[in-house]
Chains A and B, each alone.
Chain A
Amino acid sequence: MRKSLTFVSAGAAFVLAGAALAAQQAAPAAREPVLGHGPSERTGVREAGKAPALATPEAEATYSYGYPLLPHAISIAAAKAAMDACAARGAYVAVMVIDTYGIERVTVVHERARPVFELDKARRKAMTAMNDRGNLSSDMATAYSEREGGIPYQLVVSPVNIGLPGGAPLKIKGSYLVAGLGVSGAADPRIDEQCAMEGIKQVQAKLDQIKYK
């Protein structure tokens, strides 16, 4: 008798659980609206099946989904050209390309470069170039030096920035920032910057062909 009772109660529990599951499945409309990839944080939450609410016609003109991302073929060509330019001068470097989100896209380390130290500095130089709205990483150091009479301690020890030349932006037609390239490893960081500029020069023609809004 007791056994059969437990069976019955177990069956009831099973039915209840099934009903709860069905109720969960039947109500997908209560879900949170899905956040889109890209600049939806700035323009507000995008509702499912609707265009995002925009404040002004100007905003509508500049709005686009996604973010500028350089094709990896161009990034790797630039990094390789920068590494080879430095190797021709007897400097063995690490090169990193980051996107506009600050995420690493391409890394190249010469077999005679010190990988860990130089890669860290290359990343910081690329980050500095992007942080400074697409100026050279040396420009930030120069600006600080002129304004405050020296490079501040915070810029030297920051895990993100570094007050050294070697970081350069990749821009379409000199205005639209798509990536940052950092070079590190030469004894004189000014050579790093020259190599970075040479690497970017190699891909500038391809870069200018990219269409953007």
Chain B
Amino acid sequence: MRSYVCVATAAALVASAAAAESAEFYKVKILPTDLAIEAAETAVASCPRGIVSVVDANGTERAFIASDNSQTRVITTSSRAKALTALWGGMPSLDLVKPAMAEPGGITAFVQNNKGLAPGDGGVPIRVRGELIGAIGMSAPGAVAHVCAEKGIAKIQDRLNALQ
């Protein structure tokens, strides 16, 4: 069975045995890489010339695919930024456009103040029982990107829910 909680749990147990008063490590939900890859493959298969990036709960990249004939230099950063935006807001990055526009200074000020975020179509959070464990960022020319990202998540959702 795959260890779903943080790897450091075992180390935490050892440490607590040595010193009874020692603090526990934070337990971070881990997104299994096999599932991340499968979600990325599914998303790319449904959006031709798309680029997809899957990040875990910390925002670090676990899987990335630039599909055939994709404009890597143009949209590689965009796919990552959208995944991070979805993770940051805990909601699809498309839904963050309105709050960003409502901020003083509009969406320009929002993007300048929050470097690396990109409110716009393409980022979708991955949740297990309501808990955020990662996000998918998708960039594809001439396509509705979040639909492809949602297809990728739908494929792995059952197996994610089965994890302990």
Contacts and interface: CB of A to CB of B under 8 A. Distances in A.
Interface of A: 69, 71-72, 75-76, 80, 83, 103-112, 115-116, 119
Contact of A76 (B32, B37, B73): B37
Contacts of B76: 103-104
Contact of A71 (B58, B68, B72): B68
B68 A112 contact: no
Interface in B5-31: 7, 30-31
Given A76-B41, A111-B30, A111-B33, A106 B68 contact: no
A119 B61 contact: yes
Contacts of A107: 61, 63-64
Contacts of A104: 64, 66, 72, 76
Q: Nearest 10 A-B pairs (CB), nearest first?
A: A107-B64, A115-B60, A105-B66, A111-B33, A103-B72, A72-B67, A111-B30, A109-B62, A110-B33, A72-B65
B44 interface: yes
Contact of B44 (A72, A83, A115, A119): A72
Contact of A115 (B62, B67, B73): B62
| Interface bin, chain B | 20 to 34
Nearest to B62: A109
B10 to A, nearest CB: 12
A110 B68 CA distance: 24
A109 B63 contact: yes
Given A111-B30, A111-B33, A106 B66 contact: yes
Given A104-B76, A108-B64, 8 more contacts: A69-B69, A103-B76, A105-B72, A106-B65, A106-B66, A108-B33, A115-B61, A116-B60
Contacts of A111: 30-33, 56, 62
Nearest to A107: B64
